[in-house]
Structure 1
Amino acid sequence: MPLPSASKEPDDSQTWELAERCLLPIAFSHAIAVILATILNTLSISQTSSFVLFLLLLVISVGFTLFYHNLKVTAAGKAVLITGCDSRVGYTLSKQLDELGFTVFAGFNTKVESEEAMQKLKQEASGRLHILQLDVTSEHDIHSTFLYVNENLPDGAPGLWALIHAAAWVTLGECEWVPSSVLRRSVDINFIGLARLTQVFLPLIRRSKGRVVIVSSLLARIPSPVRGIYCAVKAAVEAWAACLRLEMRRWGVDVVIVETSEYVSGNAWLKDNSSLLEQARDMWTQLDPQTRKEYGQELFQKEMLALERYTQKTDIDLTPVTRALIDGVMKTFPMRKYTPVSRQERIQALCSDYLPKPVYDILYVN
Structure 2
Amino acid sequence: MGKNEELPWDLFDRCLLPVIFSHAAAVILSTILNSLYISQVSTFTLFLWFVVSSLGAVFFYHNLKVTAAGKTVLITDCTSKIGYAAARQLDDLGFTVFAGFQDKDKGSKSARKLKDESSGRLHTLQLDVTSEKEILAAAAYVKENLPHGTSGLWALVNSSTWAAFGEVEWIPFAVYKEATEVNLLSAIRITQVFLPLIRKTKGRVINIVSILGRIAAPLRSPYCTVKFGMEAFSDCLRLEMRRWGVDVIVVEPGDYTTGKTWFTDEVLLAQARHMWKSMSKEAQAEYGEDYFEQSVRSLETYTKGEEMDLTPVLRSLTDAACRTFPLPRYTSVTRSEKLQAFVADHLPRSVYDIIYT
TMscore range, shorter length: over 0.9
Q: Deviations over 1:251-295 (max 9, x none)?
A: 011111111113x14665526442122112111111121111111
Instruction: Give the aligned partner of residue 41 of structure 1.
Output: 34
Instruction: Give the aligned partner of residue 332 of structure 1.
Output: 324
For the Cα contact (< 8 Å) 2:261–2:307, is it kept in 1? no
C-alpha distance in 2, partners of 1:112/1:67? 46
Aligned partner letter, 1:119: R
Aligned partner letter, 1:86: T
Q: Give 1:349's match in structure 2, choosing from 334, 338, 341.
A: 341
Instruction: Name which of structure 1's ranges 137-146 and 41-50 shifts more when overlaid on structure 2.
Output: 41-50
Instruction: Give the aligned partner of residue 173 of structure 2.
Output: 180
Instruction: Give the aligned partner of residue 281 of structure 1.
Output: 273
Instruction: Give the aligned partner of residue 111 of structure 2.
Output: 118
SS in 1 for 2:251: strand
Instruction: Give the aligned partner of residue 294 of structure 2.
Output: 302
User: Quick check: 1:291 aligned with 2:283?
Assistant: yes
For the Cα contact (< 8 Å) 2:276–2:284, is it kept in 1? yes
Q: 1:47 Cα shift?
A: 1.5
Aligned partner letter, 2:206: V
Change (3 A) 1:37 1:268: farther
Q: Give 1:105's match in structure 2, choosing from 85, 98, 105.
A: 98
Change (3 A) 1:12 1:188: same
For the Cα contact (< 8 Å) 2:257–2:302, is it kept in 1? no
Change (3 A) 1:185 1:213: same
Aligned partner letter, 1:340: S
Q: TM-score, normalised by structure 2?
A: 0.96
User: Quick check: 1:316 aligned with 2:291?
Assistant: no
Q: 1:180 Cα shift?
A: 2.1
Instruction: Give the aligned partner of residue 353 of structure 2.
Output: 361
SS in 2 for 1:75: coil
Aligned partner letter, 1:218: I
C-alpha distance in 2, partners of 1:307/1:129? 37
SS in 1 for 2:124: strand
Aligned partner letter, 2:20: A
SS in 2 for 1:339: strand
C-alpha distance in 2, partners of 1:271/1:126? 29
Q: 1:114 Cα shift?
A: 6.2
For the Cα contact (< 8 Å) 2:213–2:224, is it kept in 1? yes
For the Cα contact (< 8 Å) 1:89–1:268, is it kept in 2? no
Q: TM-score, normalised by structure 1?
A: 0.94
C-alpha distance in 2, partners of 1:223/1:11? 22
C-alpha distance in 2, partners of 1:190/1:73? 29
Change (3 A) 1:303 1:256: same
Instruction: Give the aligned partner of residue 145 of structure 1.
Output: 138
CA RMSD, 1 decimal: 1.5
Q: Give 1:133's match in structure 2, choosing from 96, 109, 126.
A: 126
For the Cα contact (< 8 Å) 2:259–2:307, is it kept in 1? no
Runs of at least 5 residues in structure 1 that lack an aligned partner in the other structure:
none
C-alpha distance in 2, partners of 1:201/1:358? 42
Change (3 A) 1:124 1:208: same
Aligned partner letter, 2:242: R
For the Cα contact (< 8 Å) 1:136–1:193, is it kept in 2? yes
